[in-house]
Structure 1
Amino acid sequence: MKANRGGGEHGQHEALKLSSFFFMPERPRDYLVLFTRFSVLTCLIVSVSLVLRATFLSPSARDYSTTYGLKLTAVPQKAIALPPSASVGPTNISHIFFSIAGAAETWIDRSQYISLWWRNTTRGFVWLDEPVKIPENHSDVRFSIPTRVSDPGWTRFKFSSSRAAVRIARIIWDSYRLNLPNVRWFVMGDDDTVFFTENLVKVLSKYDHEQMWYIGGNSESVEQDVMHAYDMAFGGGGFALSRPLAARLAAAMDDCLQRYFYFYGSDQRIASCISEIGVPFTEERGFHQLDIRGDPYGFLAAHPLAPLVSLHHLVYLDPMFPNKNPIESLQTLMKPYTLDPNRILQQINCHDRKRQWSISISWGYTIQIYTYFLTATELTTPLQTFKTWRSSSDGPFVFNTRPLKPDPCERPVTYFMDGAEDVRDSGTKTWYSIGDKNYGHCGKIEHTRLTKVKRILVTSMKTDPEYWNKAPRRQCCEVMEGKVGKRKEKEMLLRIRKCRSLEKI
């Protein structure tokens, strides 16, 4: 402007044009001309401003800020963008970020459960309500599990019954905003949830992580599903959100917390928010909330034909193994799991036709033997050794059960895994010793003959790495004769193998 204002023909000409645009009207109709020109100029200024604003707030501009170091205004939570996927290749444990809900008051005790499955390669945090004081001079590895305190913003949201549920629901916002690289899945769980991470990777690998997925398990007790929802993942059993869905959920979370303040649990708040996004619940039968009371034996001994992904509520249930506490029981289960993760708790059934015995193996956990024939359908139906979660009643459950017979002679003799090892040529050996489940005493000759078998050795080849990517089918087993020498009355040898083409159980 200074160059134009100083003199010269060009400068005077430009000044004349500018002054003529804003001339002072001499007649009334000139006011209309002036108003029209002023309106046109105003529209031009506003249009240019909107274009510039859209440019600097667009996703591409935010990318430039990372690449070239430009400092732009912070993006509001509601405008959280979907970051591009940077990783390629098969999903592995490094692509999973665990967001575990904990509390400072119970962290020292509950860390025993997480330490069973957390490794140096595990990514994630246990999110606490406040800092926890770790004992001085500790050497326990469980205290090296990374923890963080939830963002205090959760305290501003109202609630009806469970204040902690608000914070736990918002953990997905805490986790996503860390913006960590190469995260394909966010997996939520409680501090007493035990994950079987190799199987979790196997399950999630079936799904396209660049699409929006909401994967988990339902409650086992119908009364829980009726009270909360059938079409949602129960949080204690754990559930997985793909990164694109986590981004949408994080952006919508605060509004959802305001709308769904009347729900009891964090998982129901999350499920309702995901429903607004339009993503359905995908159930995987290996996630276990374990909404049952008493002895989980019958359920675990007849595990569904699916990879074991998680176990929850074990602190409230009878120990899995006799004469062991819950932590010792899980430590025992982890031994065979590390040898053959795909096979853990998988049920294999067969019959000893010579003795007319029915045999059911829950690999790595237990063996049941009956002194009479049972059909395959009966063997795969869980014995009801448990009650419902809320009312401690006999049901209903979301799966069929069969009752324990009142006659002790009709109940199984039970064995529990007490040893596991690798063998050459990619095989395994597991040992099972007779264990008392307080099923009563039977004086019949055949039952007495069975109880003389004190130990069972099970051999098998390790499962095919692609086992769960194929159409599922239970394997078969058979009693091996003449393999146990002088102690054949006290020992039994079973072999697990693929079923023959025309073989039936």
Structure 2
Amino acid sequence: MELRSSLAPVSFLVFLRGFCLIFHFFPPLPEKSIVMLFNREGAIPASWAWKRMLRFVVIFLAVAGFATLLWPSHKQHATPMRTQSNNITISSKVQCDPDVDMLNRLNIKKLADYTRREIVVDFNPDPLAVKQKVNQPLWDTKLTGITNQEEGVVQDGCSVSAPLTLQVPVPPKSTDASHIDFGVATTVSRLNESLDQFQHWAGYTRTRIFALIEPDETKKGVQEVKIKAENLGINLFITESADDYLHRYFALVSLLEKNMREETKWACIIDDDTFFLSMPALVDALAEYDHTKPYYIGGVSEGLPQIAVFGIIAFGGAGVFLSRPLLNDLAVVYDDCQQMTFTGDRRIANCIYQYTTTHLTIDHRLHQLDLMKDASGFFESGREAPLSVHHWKSWFQADMPKLSVISNLCGESCLLRQWHFGDGWVLTNGFSVIKYSLPIENDIAMEMTWEPHNGATDESYLHELGPLRQRDDGKISFQLVDAVSEPNGRVTQWYILRDNDGDQVLELSWRKR
């Protein structure tokens, strides 16, 4: 509460008291004296009259100024804040009591606004565009603070009253990926960190992951990782090697070849931060190629300067796919190729180019994502979801395991789907809620939010990411910070707009129809 407003009720009393003081020091003159003021013979001395008048003016100005200071002001002031017991400052605009533990988990110190919205998922068997238009607003102005005594429903002041129904594709059925083997060179600690992301695409799919790690002297770490992988439904096989990383990376070629089983069709070499958004989508993509022929499949860098440095190769972060016949060919020349001085994925490429007639087949759905600082334009493009992404916790930040939590409710085809609402807001599922400040002339153009790398220009990214458009610096952006699967089958997401004056939170609670 403002000081001026809280003291307003007493200001008028102060003003009256002031006038009482005036009349105390300057009482009314008797009638005779007033006549004498205008009688030249009995006139009151001028000095006496001026002293009385001066005293009146001084007291009047003092009382008037004090009353003005205390009088209510109609000027707009900053939103008042209240402080919780755990030192989280909450704006008076927040009409509910958010969970303190949740605010701490979201790293919120000052909360400016909080909105909850329920979303009902309507599964549609017909093909749906990745981008959909919704006439309803995302932020509904009719909601909040509703009390219905007859039905016993009381809104908490932060929740939108009416659920919002969105259509999504029918989730893909669980897939059998036993014909694909994956290899990764890493350390036991990084492998342990990577299991949560591996679980999204490899858990309970019957695929196998072969990890070539540095020796673990305690052996305890390896055993713990194996137990964790088993609990997550991941078929993990660990081999220790004293070789340096570059030799271990190429050694995956031999390890995968030696462990092929009858059903093996493809081997894939990945980095420990390679993330596949959907195993069913990956299985369908590989089915487009003839696995009985030598195939070297991957994605090149999004930046031409990177290609200039490393060549036209399958960049390891996007995933390097080798068909069974090609894997057999490389086994024959493995010892010669191991003597090459090239780095990991370059050694694989040069071994293939030098000793076979197979060339790279570029699949543009596999992404190295050599994008610096801010890759939001890539994820918010509204295009078909990529098969793989990389660098999401190093070159830029995008928590892929958190992003993919929504798939527990509506399947992998729900990830990164986009809805454009009637109030101009855009939801990219699992990533952000945004509102552009500039008109979009080309609906398929990708916003260039990233910083150029190694001298790259705008044209350096067209071969993989075009069409492109310039960055919208006035864009309002709520970014996904957390997402959880609830025991009741719901999925809750928290999107946050960070600001020095206080963070704004949008909580989306998803449920099936």
TM superposition score category, shorter chain reference: 0.5 to 0.7
User: Aligned ranges for residues 140-289 of structure 1 at < 5 Å?
Assistant: 142=228, 144=230, 146-149=236-239, 163-196=244-277, 197-230=279-312, 232-258=313-339, 260-261=340-341, 263=342, 265-276=343-354, 277-289=356-368
User: Aligned ranges for residues 75-474 of structure 1 at < 5 Å?
Assistant: 92-104=176-188, 106-120=190-204, 121-131=206-216, 133-135=219-221, 142=228, 144=230, 146-149=236-239, 163-196=244-277, 197-230=279-312, 232-258=313-339, 260-261=340-341, 263=342, 265-276=343-354, 277-302=356-381, 304-305=383-384, 307-320=385-398, 326=399, 330-336=401-407, 339-347=410-418, 352=422, 357=424, 360-370=426-436, 373-375=439-441, 377=442, 379-388=443-452, 396-397=460-461, 398-400=464-466, 401-406=468-473, 408=474, 411-414=475-478, 416=480, 435-436=496-497
CA distance in structure 1 between the partners assigned to 2:284 and 2:418 by the alignment: 19
CA distance in structure 2 between the partners assigned to 1:280 and 1:110 by the alignment: 31
In the TM superposition, residue 453 of structure 1 has moved relative to its aligned partner by 11
CA distance in structure 1 between the partners assigned to 2:446 and 2:214 by the alignment: 39
CA distance in structure 1 between the partners assigned to 2:417 and 2:192 by the alignment: 32
- TM-score, normalised by the number of residues in structure 1: 0.54
Which amino acid is 2:432 matched to? Answer: T
Which residue of the partner structure matches residue 5 of structure 2?
none
Against the structure 1 CA distance between its residues 339 and 227, is the aligned structure 2 distance closer, same or farther, given a 3 Å change threshold?
Answer: same
Residues 496 and 505 in structure 2, CA contact (< 8 A), matched pair in contact too: no
Instruction: Answer with 336-345 or 282-291: which moved more.
Output: 336-345
Residues 432 and 495 in structure 2, CA contact (< 8 A), matched pair in contact too: no
User: Residue deviations 1:20-62, cap 9 Å, x none?
Assistant: xxxxxxxxxxxxxxxxxxxxxxxxxxxxxxxxxxxxxxxxxxx
CA distance in structure 1 between the partners assigned to 2:490 and 2:189 by the alignment: 42
In the TM superposition, residue 93 of structure 1 has moved relative to its aligned partner by 0.6
User: Aligned ranges for residues 36-51 of structure 1 at < 5 Å?
Assistant: none
Which amino acid is 2:392 matched to? Answer: L
Residues 416 and 431 in structure 2, CA contact (< 8 A), matched pair in contact too: yes
Which amino acid is 2:210 matched to? Answer: F
In the TM superposition, residue 288 of structure 1 has moved relative to its aligned partner by 2.0
Q: Report sequence identity in percent.
A: 23
Which amino acid is 2:352 matched to? Answer: I
User: Residue deviations 1:243-280, cap 9 Å, x none?
Assistant: 1111112222222233x32x2x2111111222231122
Against the structure 1 CA distance between its residues 136 and 343, is the aligned structure 2 distance closer, same or farther, given a 3 Å change threshold?
Answer: closer
In the TM superposition, residue 309 of structure 1 has moved relative to its aligned partner by 2.0
CA distance in structure 1 between the partners assigned to 2:445 and 2:376 by the alignment: 12
Against the structure 1 CA distance between its residues 294 and 371, is the aligned structure 2 distance closer, same or farther, given a 3 Å change threshold?
Answer: closer
In the TM superposition, residue 391 of structure 1 has moved relative to its aligned partner by 6.6
User: 1:293 is paired with a residue of what secondary structure?
Assistant: coil
Superposition CA RMSD, Å: 4.0
In the TM superposition, residue 205 of structure 1 has moved relative to its aligned partner by 1.6
User: 1:192 is paired with a residue of what secondary structure?
Assistant: coil
Against the structure 1 CA distance between its residues 179 and 372, is the aligned structure 2 distance closer, same or farther, given a 3 Å change threshold?
Answer: closer
In the TM superposition, residue 148 of structure 1 has moved relative to its aligned partner by 2.8
In the TM superposition, residue 388 of structure 1 has moved relative to its aligned partner by 4.1
User: Residue deviations 1:459-495, cap 9 Å, x none?
Assistant: 999xxxxxxxxxxxxxxxxxxxxxxxxxxxxxxxxxx
User: 2:381 is paired with a residue of what secondary structure?
Assistant: coil
In the TM superposition, residue 136 of structure 1 has moved relative to its aligned partner by 9.6
Against the structure 1 CA distance between its residues 455 and 170, is the aligned structure 2 distance closer, same or farther, given a 3 Å change threshold?
Answer: closer
CA distance in structure 1 between the partners assigned to 2:498 and 2:210 by the alignment: 38
Against the structure 1 CA distance between its residues 430 and 240, is the aligned structure 2 distance closer, same or farther, given a 3 Å change threshold?
Answer: same
CA distance in structure 2 between the partners assigned to 1:134 and 1:241 by the alignment: 33
Against the structure 1 CA distance between its residues 280 and 421, is the aligned structure 2 distance closer, same or farther, given a 3 Å change threshold?
Answer: same
CA distance in structure 2 between the partners assigned to 1:141 and 1:128 by the alignment: 17
CA distance in structure 2 between the partners assigned to 1:392 and 1:436 by the alignment: 30
CA distance in structure 1 between the partners assigned to 2:498 and 2:457 by the alignment: 21
In the TM superposition, residue 142 of structure 1 has moved relative to its aligned partner by 3.2
CA distance in structure 1 between the partners assigned to 2:430 and 2:314 by the alignment: 27
In the TM superposition, residue 380 of structure 1 has moved relative to its aligned partner by 3.3
Which amino acid is 1:383 matched to? Answer: E
Which amino acid is 1:436 matched to? Answer: L
User: 2:183 is paired with a residue of what secondary structure?
Assistant: strand
Give unmatched runs, 5+ long, in structure 2. 1-174
Residues 199 and 308 in structure 1, CA contact (< 8 A), matched pair in contact too: no
What is the number of equivalent residue pairs in this alignment? 326
Residues 189 and 221 in structure 2, CA contact (< 8 A), matched pair in contact too: no
Residues 403 and 415 in structure 2, CA contact (< 8 A), matched pair in contact too: no
CA distance in structure 2 between the partners assigned to 1:420 and 1:302 by the alignment: 25
In the TM superposition, residue 204 of structure 1 has moved relative to its aligned partner by 0.8
Residues 150 and 171 in structure 1, CA contact (< 8 A), matched pair in contact too: no
Which residue of the partner structure matches residue 83 of structure 1?
none
Against the structure 1 CA distance between its residues 139 and 122, is the aligned structure 2 distance closer, same or farther, given a 3 Å change threshold?
Answer: same
Residues 417 and 431 in structure 1, CA contact (< 8 A), matched pair in contact too: no
Against the structure 1 CA distance between its residues 338 and 178, is the aligned structure 2 distance closer, same or farther, given a 3 Å change threshold?
Answer: farther
Which amino acid is 1:336 matched to? Answer: S
Residues 304 and 456 in structure 2, CA contact (< 8 A), matched pair in contact too: no
User: 1:93 is paired with a residue of what secondary structure?
Assistant: coil
